[in-house]
Amino acid sequence: MFESSVSYTVLPDLGPGAVHLAKATTPALKQRSLKNAIGCTGVGLHSGTKITMVLRPAAANTGILFRRTDIAGGGALVPAHWASVSDTRLNTCVANADGVSVRTIEHLMAALSGCGIDNLIIDINGPEVPVMDGSAAPFLFLVECAGVVEQSAPRRAIKVLKPVIVREDDKMAMLTPGDSFSVAMDIAFDATVIGRQHCHLTLTDGRFKSELSRARTFGFEQEVAAMRAAGLGKGGTLDNAVVISSDGEHVLNDEGLRYDDEFVRHKALDAVGDLYLAGAPLLGHYRGVRTGHALNNRLLREFFADQSAWAYTTISAATPAFADPRTRSAAALLPAYGMMAASA
């Protein structure tokens, strides 16, 4: 996720099955967490349940952990990690060995990726991250309001060393080597209002915030009944999703679209969130064709299964790929976004 031209040196082995690389000359960036705890309340897109979530600072090398506050004991912790993904039907769901799960994590994970947050405890009193407005922008705003602190440990990335590709029918997802993080996405739908769309973004210089973060999840009017019969989409409304009319000619939301190609941008946003389950930022290029959560997770599983396809590296302090979240006084705005300051 960082633009640079660098040389690498091999570090002593830090674990089985991986090459570890380090920048030879430039100082490493530090891991980051939140400065203050902050929370929000909203509805789960699929469960329809009102949920309160609090983002809390965490120590270096903690990673991203969900903590189900409605469940007692150590079994309440659920790692945000590709190996913990348990369901990919219209969302990404992670679960622990006790079967405790948190679903619809992809928009929050995309925001944490875009903000460069490495360590976080996410307290949540239900089984699903609140959908907010259906995009990553409210979570980005939460991080900006809470502020960000650098920690003592160096920040690691995962460098893609060779192409890895997965396919399913006309769908495809792949990772290829690169010294920055980019996302390319192609989608095609019969609905006229979508049709064929493409986007390609190198996520440097704050482009996640400006180009992807506001893109909302979307669905089709004629599929709502079937989704709810399957126990999904119970919290979906025109306030948190773009809904395409049954004839495919227009969107039902009065305000229309936030981007002309909002649909493909949201698919790219989902991919950013799914890929952040790698456990560290990726240095490489992602390409998706008609892909979704299931194929994204399969891509990570095959990527990490091939020990010659990746290596850890520390990240140079030269040029961060995403704009630094900036601490600012925004307490007066929090209630309007369904958010709240929280005690540590």
The single residue listed with the structure tokens 């893109």 is: 215
Verify whether residue 266 is a known catalytic residue. no
Distance CA 179, CA 4 (A): 6
Q: Among residues 120, 136, 117, 146, which one has the least CA distance to residue 64?
A: 120
How many other CB atoms are found less than 10 A from the CB of residue 61?
12
How distant, in Å, are the alpha carbons of 143, 144, 184 from that of 330? 11, 9, 34
Using a 10 angstrom Cβ sphere, with 0-12 exposed, 13-18 middle and 19 or more buried, the burial of residue 226 is exposed
How distant, in Å, are the alpha carbons of 10, 38, 310, 331 from that of 142? 38, 7, 32, 11
Q: Among residues 336, 128, 139, which one has the least CA distance to residue 234?
A: 128
Which is the catalytic residue, given 46, 107, 266, 293?
Answer: 293
Distance CA 199, CA 186 (A): 7
Residue type for position 209: K
DSSP-derived 3-state class of residue 133? coil
Contact 125, 50 (CB under 8 A): no
The catalytic residues are 293
